[in-house]
């Protein structure tokens, strides 16, 4: 089994999402000792945002310049790494009501027709099914308990939609919100997230075993 561990927070050791992804990966490895882990730090290794030079995987045109060849190679490496992974653990802090731009840039490289989805006469069909995605979702405020908060949130909702578009139906969230609302609120959020890690890893493990059988 191969697990891809992706972090995107720009706050280094102060990042709550990085703490949670590390604990999630450790919990998964404890349940699956033979798991191979690859690590991608998008704060340090973010792909460039889509541009005219990086659209080769969408146009199908051969690269004409060294820049285009490098961009095509990067897109191929990222989508191949993603497709080879059985489990993807993603750290996704809420930045300005959405995800970090580094994480969006990575997802944009994965969204390749013919690789992660295809178009048909009945609409798009995902090609990357059978994977488990566990997202460490962190938020300074509380968004999940009110209609107003839910309307402002384009983090978990976006990730669920885009991975669903890729055909992944097993998308799980380990959430810590209110982490900027004082020490007590942060401690409570982390405690809740720790319990969620255990619950989600067990549930994902059962789902994986059911698919294998």
State how beta strands 2-7 and 87-93 pair: parallel
In Å, the largest CA–CA distance within the chain is 56
E strand segments, 8-128: 36-41, 87-93, 117-120, 123-126
> Which residues, 6+ apart, have CB-to-CB distance to 134 below 8 Å?
24, 28, 87, 88, 89, 90, 172, 173, 174, 200, 201, 204
What is the average per-residue pLDDT within 101-125?
97
- Angle in degrees, 0-180, between the axes of helices 66-83 and 101-110, rounded to the nearest 10: 90
Q: What would the pLDDT profile of 147-191 be if each residue is shown by its tens digit?
A: 999 999 999 999 999 999 999 999 999 999 999 999 999 999 999
> Which residues, 6+ apart, have CB-to-CB distance to 60 below 8 Å?
none
Retrieve residue 179's tokens: 């982490």
The C-alpha atoms of residue 45 and residue 87 are separated, in whole angstroms, by 20
63: confidence class by pLDDT, cuts 50, 70, 90? confident
Tell me what pLDDT residue 210 has.
62
Q: What would the pLDDT profile of 19-31 be if each residue is shown by its tens digit?
A: 999 999 999 999 9
What is the average per-residue pLDDT within 113-130?
97
Residue 212 pLDDT greater than 80, yes or no: no
204: confidence class by pLDDT, cuts 50, 70, 90? confident
Tell me what pLDDT residue 147 has.
96
How far apart, in Å, are the Cα atoms of 54 and each of 47, 107, 108, 117? 10, 13, 10, 19
What is the average per-residue pLDDT within 32-59?
92
Query: 200: closest CA among 176, 167, 172?
Result: 172
């Amino acid at each position: 089994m191969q697990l891809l561990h992706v972090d995107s927070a720009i706050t280094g050791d102060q990042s709550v999402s990085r703490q949670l992804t590390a604990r999630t990966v450790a919990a998964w490895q404890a349940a699956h000792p033979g798991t191979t882990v690859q690590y991608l730090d998008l704060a340090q290794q973010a792909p460039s945002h889509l541009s005219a030079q990086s659209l080769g995987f969408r146009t199908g045109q051969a690269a004409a310049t060294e820049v285009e060849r490098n961009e095509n190679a990067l897109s191929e490496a990222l989508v191949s790494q993603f497709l080879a992974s059985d489990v993807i653990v993603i750290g996704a802090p809420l930045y300005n009501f959405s995800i970090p731009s580094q994480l969006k840039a990575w997802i944009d490289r994965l969204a390749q027709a013919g690789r992660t989805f295809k178009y048909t006469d009945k609409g798009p069909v995902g090609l990357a099914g059978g994977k488990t995605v566990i997202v460490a979702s962190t938020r300074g405020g509380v968004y999940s308990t009110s209609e107003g908060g839910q309307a402002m949130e384009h983090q978990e909702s976006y990730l669920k939609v885009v991975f669903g578009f890729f055909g992944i139906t097993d998308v799980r969230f380990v959430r810590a919100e209110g982490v900027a609302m004082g020490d007590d609120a942060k401690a409570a959020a982390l405690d809740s997230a720790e319990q969620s890690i255990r619950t989600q890893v067990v549930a994902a493990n059962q789902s994986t075993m059911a698919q294998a059988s």
